[in-house]
Amino acid sequence: MNSQVQGERVAQAARFQRGTFRPAPGRGALGRMLLAHARTEARLTLRNGEQVLLTLLIPAALLVGLSLLRVLPMPEPRVASVTARIFALAVMSSAFTGQAIALGFDRRYGVLKRLAATALPRWLLVAGRLVAAVLVVVVQLVVLGAIALALGWQPTLVGLAWTVPLVLLGTLAFGALGVLVGGALKAELVLALANVLWFVLLMVGGIALAPGTLPGWATDLVAWLPSGALVNGLQAALAEAAAPGWQPVVALLAWTAVGALVASRTTRLT
Amino acid sequence: MSSNQQHTAVEVSGLVKRYGSTVAVDGLDLVVDRGSVLALLGPNGAGKTTTVEVCEGFLRPDAGTVRVLGLDPLAQGSALRPRIGVMPQGGGAYPGVRAEEMLRLVAACAANPIDPGWLLDTLGLTSAGRTPYKRLSGGQQQRLSLACALVGRPELVFLDEPTAGMDPQARRLVWDLVTALRADGVSVLLTTHLMDEAEALADQVVIVDRGQVVAAGTPAELTAGDSDHQQLRFRARTGLDVRLLRDALPEGCAVREITPGGYLVEGRIDPQVVSTVTAWCAQHGVLAEEMHVAKRSLEDVFLELTGRELR
Ligand SMILES: Nc1ncnc2c1ncn2[C@@H]1O[C@H](COP(=O)(O)OP(=O)(O)O)[C@@H](O)[C@H]1O
Ligand SMILES: [Mg+2]
């Protein structure tokens, strides 16, 4: 029986040319890995209906609604103020809420373990997601910016120049917090928490209600939240064509650092 | 140990892993020689996946040492991972990712990947290449997972229940792949609860139950068993006088009619015993049919060792 098995082995192996699987292991080039990972993540986000609703459709609807209906008090020019807020909302929606939920479920489905079992370094698992978040934010802002232009927004070069680093910083801060929430808890908890935080920050985190319309102490507090800081920075850049001041930048840097530091300790693969 | 390392792909000794009060792995030892196939065989819950995940560096052992390609999978994981291929037990892809997209992502992580297109074709996944992972059948998901384990041209692959949920053709294909891997010098540690799979593929079989090794050896060694307790079976007309036959046989052989017309000779079965039985039958004008020396299956081995069914 054994020699029969051995004989069969030879016959079976003939299905594959000898040497087909000869070992030649090694890690891929870092840039290539980062690009492949980020591209896959970004594509998956833009292909996912719920994510598109969260990251594009809701912000677009709010952009149009708040610009045309004067339901909330906004500094003039109104469309520029609304655009600043909606850009901040878009960043928060994708880099934080969408990111956290996707990460929570990817862990559940063993995706992180799968990727961690390849040559992909652990830091690249996070870096790839953040690069993907930046790519998605770029798509969001191009679409939302086009809608704002159609609504009469008149951006300035100075404002746009400040928008780029602010959005990048905001994406990193919210992205780090998204990884923190999505990497530590059970998928269902992540889903609930990420949505609740999204709603709370939208309502009282400086996005729907301008920080200035809140009581004094609340205004100060909100300015230090990632949402409030990003709104204040973008409001200065987009509505006032001015530098954002140091506070939003410091606040966003601090959230990035704290989020990344804690996440690097609490993030689990499963 | 250092001289051994060149010949050893995986070396596990005294491995213990607990989950709370559950002892998943309880003092397990195993060695996978380079270029060989080792099957970790055992029922569900035996501790196979836990053992494999410790070797892959996903779990920290509570006790014992693990060396994989001479490296510590936890402390030296980043040096180890480019050299191994991993097929986890289930899962391992984004629900919305297309099969080809997933394989290309894993391929991008390797320095010299196998052509993903060829691999998809070989595994019969070309037509499913654009199908999202969540809409693939269980067997297709398994095949994609296997492709991801192989695409980086690893030296060592861990396959956790590689044929679970596969139809017979796909199973055959996996067997062929494992055979080809071995022929090309890849070391393989696979887990299975299927005896025939372990018997057909493995150079070494380690049978585990409740986290402990209950038997280990080549399939031939495990099934040859104790040479004084072999079996010869044959069919003939019912009601032969088995006492007469026993008297003709050497000391220590027992004969029974276990089913009507089905006879069993137990003891040390050597060529002499076989010819004695044939001659005795001829002498008594009896036609002995379907005569064979029964080998124990791995299932028999398992049953004898643990008193429990393997599945
Ligand atoms: N994450 C876990 N938490 C608690 N118990 C676990 C966990 N993983 C496995 N176990 C337990 O450890 C034992 C061994 O499991 P496992 O290694 O998956 O076995 P096998 O792969 O052989 O089926 C089982 O009793 C199982 O219930
Ligand atoms: Mg298992």
B108 and A106 within 8 Å at the Cβ level: the answer is no
- Chain A segment 99-158 residues within 8 A of B by beta carbon are 105-106, 109-111, 113-122
What interhelical angle do A99-108 and A30-47 show, nearest 10?
Answer: 100
Ligand 1 center from residue B140 Cα (angstroms): 25
The tokens for A73 are 């008090």
Q: Rounded distance, CA B147 to CA B106, Å? A: 9
CA atoms within 13 A on the CB side of B167: 5
pLDDT at B210 over 60: yes
Cβ neighbours of residue A77 under 8 Å, at least 6 residues apart? A153, A154, A239
Place of tokens 């594959």: A16
Helix intervals (H) in B74-226: 77-80, 99-108, 116-122, 138-150, 168-183, 195-201, 219-224
Question: How much is the pLDDT for B5?
Answer: 61
Calculate the CA A112 to chain-centre distance. 17
pLDDT of residue B131: 95
> Which domain CATH number covers B251?
3.30.70
Distance, in Å, from the CA atom of B249 to the CA atom of A96, rounded to the nearest integer, reads 82
Give me the pLDDT at residue B270, please: 83
A217 CA distance to ligand 1 middle (Å): 52
Q: CA–CA separation, A168 vs A256, rounded Å?
A: 11
Render pLDDT for A61-120 as a digit per residue (tens, 0 to 9). Answer: 999 999 888 877 777 888 999 999 999 999 999 999 999 999 999 999 999 999 999 999
Q: Is residue B153 part of a domain?
A: yes
Q: What is the pLDDT of residue A168?
A: 97
Determine, yes or no, domain membership for B183: yes
Residues B110 and B218 in one domain: yes
My answer on whether B173 and B277 are in the same domain is no
User: What local confidence, expressed as pLDDT, does residue A12 receive?
Assistant: 47
Question: In DSSP terms, which residues pair with B265 in a beta bridge?
Answer: B232, B255
Match 């994406």 to its residue by tokens.
A171
Residue A161 belongs to what H/E stretch? helix A157-184
For chain A, give the percent of residues with pLDDT over 90: 69
The residue among B174 and B259 whose pLDDT is bigger is: B174
pLDDT score of B291 more than 90: no
The residue of chain B with its CA nearest to that of A39 is: B105
Q: Which domain holds residue B280?
A: 230-294
B89 CA closest ligand 1 atom index: 21
Q: Are B40 and B48 in contact (CB under 8 A)?
A: yes
Check if the beta carbon of residue A161 is closer than 8 Å to that of residue A240.
no
Cβ <8 Å between B111 and A1: no
- Answer whether B50 contacts ligand 1 (Cβ < 6 A): yes
**What pLDDT does B4 receive?**
57
Q: How far apart are CA B158 and CA B63, in angstroms?
A: 21
Residues from chain A that touch B109, judged by Cβ atoms under 8 A, are: 27-28, 33, 36, 115, 118-120
pLDDT (tens digit, 9 = 90+) per residue, B186-198? Answer: 999 999 988 889 9
Q: Which of B96, B155, B199 sits opposite A25 (nearest CB)?
A: B155
- Which CATH number is B218's domain given? 3.40.50.300
Last residue within a domain, chosen from B163, B196, B223: B223
Asked if residue B238 is part of any domain, the answer here is yes
The pLDDT tens digits for A230-240 are 999 999 999 88
pLDDT reading at B220 higher than 90 = no
Question: CA-CA distance, A158 to A149, in Å (whole number)?
Answer: 16
State the smallest CA–CA distance between residue B200 and chain A in angstroms. 7
User: Domain end: B201, B223, B245, which one?
Assistant: B223
| Closest Cβ–Cβ partner in A9, A13, A118 for B152 | A118
> Which residues in chain A are contacts of B114 at CB distance < 8 A?
20-21
Q: In this structure, what token pair is assigned to residue A136?
A: 């998605």
Does some domain include residue B196?
yes
pLDDT, one tens digit per residue, over A5-18 is: 444 444 444 578 88
Q: What is the pLDDT of residues A8-57, one digit of tens each?
A: 444 444 578 889 999 999 999 999 999 999 999 999 999 998 889 989 99
**Hey, which residues does B11 pair with through a beta bridge?**
B31, B67
B93 shares its domain with B168: yes
Please, which residues 46-65 of chain A have a Cβ atom closer than 8 Å to chain B? 47-48
In a domain, B269, yes or no: yes
> Is B309 within the bounds of a domain?
no
How many CB atoms are located within 10 Å of the residue B11 CB?
20
- Residue B44 in contact with ligand 1 by CB distance below 6 A: yes
| A266, two tokens | 């609490």
- Taking contacts as CB-CB distances below 8 angstroms, the residues of chain B near A11 are none
Q: Are B59 and B17 in contact (CB under 8 A)?
A: yes
Number of domains in chain B: 2
Classify residue B310: in a domain, yes or no: no
Distance separating alpha carbons of residues B146 and B89, to the nearest angstrom:
10
Q: Based on the domain organization, do B164 and B206 belong to the same domain?
A: yes
Instruction: Give the pLDDT band (50/70/90) at residue B96.
Output: very high
CA dihedral defined by B245, B246, B250, B254, rounded to 10 degrees?
Answer: 130
The answer to whether residues B263 and B144 belong to one domain is no
pLDDT above 80: residue B229: no
B110 to A118: CB separation less than 8 angstroms, yes or no: yes
Asked if residue B189 and residue B284 are part of one domain, the reply reads no
Q: What is the pLDDT of residue B199?
A: 87
Same domain for B127 and B250?
no
Query: Hey, is the C-beta of B55 within 8 angstroms of any chain A C-beta?
Result: no
Task: Using the predicted structure, report yes or no on whether residue B118 has a pLDDT greater than 50.
Answer: yes
For ligand 1, whether the C-beta of B267 sits within 6 Å is: no
Give the model's pLDDT for residue A157.
94
Residue A136 has pLDDT above 50, yes or no: yes
Q: How confident is the model at residue A1 (pLDDT cuts 50, 70, 90)?
A: very low
Which residue would you say has higher pLDDT here, B110 or B233?
B110
- Does one domain contain both B140 and B234? no
Indicate if ligand 1 lies below 6 Å from the C-beta of B88.
Answer: no
List the structure tokens of A242.
Answer: 């001015």
Q: Which residues of B184-219 are buried (b: 16+ CB within 10 A; e: fewer)?
A: bebbbbbbbbbbebbbbbbebbbbbbbbbbbbbeeb
- Tell me whether residue B301 is in a domain: no
Please state whether the peptide bond connecting residue A77 to the residue before it is cis, i.e. omega within 30 degrees of 0. Answer: yes
Q: What pLDDT is stored for residue B1 in this prediction?
A: 45
- Ligand 1, atom 2: nearest CA belongs to which residue? B19
End position of a domain, from candidates B223, B249, B272: B223
- Average pLDDT over all residues of chain B: 90
Ligand nearest to the CA of B87: 2
Q: Does B110 touch chain A (CB under 8 A)?
A: yes
Regarding whether B129 and B242 lie in a shared domain, the answer is: no
What is residue A270's predicted lDDT score, i.e. its pLDDT?
A: 85
Q: Which residues of A127-150 are buried (b: 16+ CB within 10 A; e: fewer)?
A: bbbbbbbbbbbebbbebbbebbee
Q: Are B137 and B209 part of one and the same domain? A: yes
My answer on whether B212 and B247 are in the same domain is no
How many angstroms separate the Cα of A266 from the Cα of each of A169, A189, A259, A260, B62?
22, 15, 10, 10, 21
Q: Per residue in A164-220, pLDDT tens? A: 999 999 999 999 999 999 999 999 999 999 999 999 888 888 888 766 677 778 888
Q: By three-state DSSP, how is residue B295 classified? A: coil
Neighbour count for residue A188 (Cβ, 10 Å): 11
Please report which confidence band the pLDDT of residue B250 belongs to, taking 50, 70 and 90 as the band edges.
confident
Same domain, B102 and B65: yes
Evaluate: CB of B48 within 6 angstroms of ligand 1.
yes
